[in-house]
Amino acid sequence: MRKRFSPDTMFEFAVGAVAFTGVILLAVLLLGELVLGAMPSIKTFGVGFLFETTWDPVFEKFGALAFIYGTLLSSFLAMLIGVPLSLGIAIYLAEVASSNVRTLISPVIELMAAIPSVIIGLWGIFVFAPFMRDYIATPLAKYLGFLPFFSGPAFGLSFLTAGFILAFMIIPIVSSITREALLAVPVLQKEGALALGATRWEMIVMTVLPYSRAAIFGAVIIGLGRAIGETMAVTMVIGNTPQLAASLLAPGYSMAAVIANEFTEATGDLYLSALIEIGLILFIISILVNASSRLLVWRYFEVRDSK
Amino acid sequence: MNWKYGIAVILVILALFAGCTGRNEERTGQGSSGTTREQVQAQIITLNGAGATFPYPLISRWSYEYNKINPRVQINYQSIGSGGGIKQTMAKTVSWGATDAPLKESEFAKMPGVLHIPETIGAVVIAYNLPGVGSGLRLSGEVIADIFLGKIRRWDDPRIAELNPGVALPDRDIIVVHRSDGSGTTYVFTDYLSSVSSEWSTWVGKGKSMNWPVGLGGKGNEGVAGLIRQNPYSIGYVELAYATTAKMTYAYVKNREGNFVEPTIETISAAAAGAAPAMPRGDESWSDVSIVNAPGNDSYPISSFTYLLVYKDLSVIPGMTEVRAKALVDFLNWVIHDGQEYSTALLYVPLPDEVVKLNEDTIKLINYNGKPLTG
């Protein structure tokens, strides 16, 4: 039994206080502030706010559906494009590449994560969007235009372009975390599989991936969190048109983008409040995504500790 | 253990609050601090302003030049957007505000005694990317409105061809580009469209952010310009300074007298001069003021003032002393006279004499607790 006011307990107070105020209090205050700010909009539009696509600042008719749709669709596309690529990179670096190649490429990929999103956005609008229009979107619209997902016209600014840009942004994070998880797989397991006659491919599929499954899933969720919250890069390439288009080549809009675009010049209480309500919805979605990622990562560490 | 954490949490919260109060005192500058600091404050007068982003380059130039003439006066300007400028002026946290659009009736009612001082003029240019066609495509307000309503969809539409005999218009769809961020530029443009098209004013209206019937949204002037440059057969609107420096091709727009006018500093200044006789006094509501479609043979029809907001009785602002108020009035007087000569180099349009005269009368209204501040 320790003394009541030993340095140890004091230290516990201090770090405990920081944890409580820094994290929980901040989150609660943030949520409270958002709810308070969104109140006029919540009272005026009710639940209908979530299901309405019109966004008309002049006549003060607001609905968030087009933005929620844009955020979810562009993030989903980013996952679809980015996750397989990230897994490939991670497997290559952890299992296939020689250690020289690994030490050369790994830092480069991690550096990519440090590129500011506005730079990626500018590259997106000036380089990638025209490329997208000429070499990807236009051929897609021409040859697969009979499918509703690829019906034209193709401008280069679209859900799909935003998906690609977001994929570029999540690949460094997802592939780095996944690589670490793969490297954490005990050598004994891998050697066991090889000793039983497995090829390298079978060894990866049958032992390495199942062992690190939870961590990879955690990495994907962290990437998803980044994709959902990304603002500058998306607003530059998504086209900023609030609509529920089935075509991936059509321009759209996202929640973070509309806040960034309109907040500074939003005059009028209801207008401002509607923007804050979008922030609240984004906050809730981000919390849900991050909470699930935490749970998964915790589970992963428990699995490893018990071994 | 839990109660100990509880106490620690409470202590930290208290510390945070204490920190906040401390900072408030500092901001108003009215605390009973030592004499040295008061002396320093007497020497340097800092006047904070906040608001619109559009006039920011010009205001920061003014701040620099004015500080050279009056080293004691330091003008700070935060370009946080017109909405923020209006809010901070309303909350009296800044000495002066700036906004691209005049205060709405409802906003004006909440800020009794606030004055509008137009400080410079901005214009909106209709820029396009038509391979083989240079600047000078002729457009009328009705045609521009119908393009942005999605009713005119192709470049070889007879209504465009009719205005441009001899120009080979391509047989292509029009790609419409607009601003996606809330902006004074959008306000001026939609104000113009509302004034020339009843359909536009009924269904779309005017504002800084819009529910656009058609088109792609680009962020900022550079976003719109980038989209226009990359997409042949597109059309959009950008601020004059941006169109000129980015060397974009732009349209001549039909004015009220039926002339097609190129946007230049002279034609925009002519529009402001033409609109001056109908303008209200500085302390009246300016919510209806607009110089789009102004009369005059050479008036370019799509332009607007941008305003400084100043309280008539400056003593209502916390921390404002008579000396500081006098310094602000001197600065405002300098802005509307000598300050105007810096406009042209930065591609802003200087105020015409008629508006300078109006501003002189407005600035004479400014007082400190009833005491006039101009000699």
The residue among A11, A158, A255, A267 with the most chain B CBs within 10 A of its CB, best to mutate, is: A267
Which tens digit of pLDDT belongs to each residue from B99-144? 988 998 888 999 989 999 999 998 999 999 999 899 999 999 999 9
CA distance A199 to chain B (A): 50
Q: Is residue B11 scored above 80 in pLDDT?
A: no
Q: Token pair 């770090």 is at which residue?
A: A15
Residue position matching structure tokens 């820029």: B127
Tell me if A60 sits within 8 A of A75, measured CB to CB. no
**Beta-carbon neighbour count of residue B248 at 10 Å?**
20
Q: What is the mean pLDDT of chain A?
A: 88
- pTM of the predicted model as reported, rounded to 2 decimal places: 0.79
| Contact at CB, A264 and B84, closer than 8 angstroms | yes
Instruction: Let me know the angle formed at the C-alpha of B146 by B144 and B151, rounded to the nearest 5 degrees.
Output: 145
Task: Give pLDDT, residue B26.
Answer: 39
- pLDDT value, residue A301: 61
Contacts of B116 (CB under 8 A, 6+ apart): B102, B103, B282, B286, B289, B307, B308, B309, B362
CB-CB neighbors (< 8 A) of A20 in chain B = 5, 8-9, 12
Note the CATH architecture for domain B44-121+305-372: 3-Layer(aba) Sandwich (3.40)
Chain A residues touching B200 at Cβ < 8 A:
none
Q: Which residue type is seen at A169?
A: M
The residues that bridge with B303 in the sheet, in sequence order, are B123
What does the pLDDT look like over B276-291, one tens digit per residue? 888 998 889 998 888 9
CA distance A246 to chain B (A): 17
Interface contact B216-A251, CB threshold 8 A? yes
- To 10 degrees, the CA torsion angle through A108, A109, A111, A117? 140
Q: Mind giving me the DSSP string for A177-196?
A: HHHHHHHTS-HHHHHHHHHT
Query: pLDDT averaged over consecutive 10-residue blocks of chain A (307 residues)?
Result: 73 86 85 93 92 90 94 95 95 90 90 90 90 90 88 86 95 93 90 91 90 86 90 91 90 94 83 94 88 73 53
Say what the ipTM of the complex is: 0.76
Contacting residues of A for B173, CB less than 8 Å apart: 153
pLDDT given for residue A3 in this prediction = 58
Mean pLDDT, residues B148-169 taken together: 94
- The yes-or-no verdict on residue B180 having pLDDT over 70 is yes
Chain B contacts in chain A segment 256-275 (CB below 8 A): 257, 260-267, 272
Q: What are phi and psi of B129, to 5 degrees?
A: -130, 95
* A137–chain B Cβ distance below 8 A for any pair: no
Answer whether A13 touches B (CB < 8 Å). yes
- B182–A251 C-beta distance less than 8 A: no
pLDDT for B22: 42
Judging contacts by C-beta atoms under 8 Å, the chain B residues touching residue A261 are 180-182, 209, 217, 219
CB–CB of A267 and B83 under 8 A?
yes
- Residue contacts between A and B (CB atoms, under 8 Å): 120
Domains of chain A as residue ranges with CATH: 64-306 (1.10.3720.10)
Chain A residue closest in CA terms to B214: A241
pLDDT beyond 60 at B18: no
For the segment(s) B124-278, the CATH number from 3.40.50.620, 3.40.50.2300, 3.30.499.10, 3.40.190.10 is: 3.40.190.10
Contact across the interface for A265 and B82, Cβ inside 8 Å: yes
Model confidence pLDDT, tens digit, residues B199-248: 999 999 998 889 999 999 988 888 899 889 888 999 999 999 888 888 89
CB of A180 less than 8 A from some CB of B: no
Read off the amino acid at residue A286. Answer: S
The dihedrals phi and psi of B98, each to the nearest 5 degrees, come to -145, 140
State both tokens at B217.
């949204």
Q: What Cα–Cα distance (Å) separates residue B373 from each residue in B12, B94, B327, B329, B364?
A: 47, 19, 9, 7, 8
Stretch (H or E) spanning A296: helix A269-306
Is it the case that residue B14 has pLDDT exceeding 60? no
Residues of B with CB under 8 A from a CB of A: 1, 4-5, 8-9, 11-13, 16, 53, 80-84, 86, 104, 107, 173, 175, 180-184, 190, 204-212, 215-219, 223, 226-227, 230-231
Q: Cis bond leading into B352, ω under 30°?
A: no
Strand-pair partners of B78: B50
Confidence band for B299, pLDDT divided at 50, 70 and 90: very high
Q: Which residue of chain A has the CA closest to B80?
A: A264
Q: How far apart are the first and last CA of chain B?
A: 70
Closest residue, chain B, to A158 (C-alpha): B216
Band of residue B37 on the pLDDT scale cut at 50, 70, 90? low
Closest CA to B214 of B177, B239, B179: B177
Q: Which residue has the higher pLDDT, B53 or B210?
A: B210
When pLDDT is cut at 50, 70 and 90, the band that residue B152 belongs to is very high
Q: What is the pLDDT of residue A227?
A: 93
For chain B, give the mean pLDDT: 87
Question: To the nearest whole angstrom, how far is the Cα of B191 from the nearest Cα of chain A?
Answer: 12
The pLDDT tens digits of the residues spanning A155-180 come to: 889 999 999 999 999 999 999 999 99
Q: Which chain B residues are within 8 Å of A54, Cβ to Cβ? A: 211
**Closest chain B CA to residue A56:** B211
pLDDT of residue B310: 95
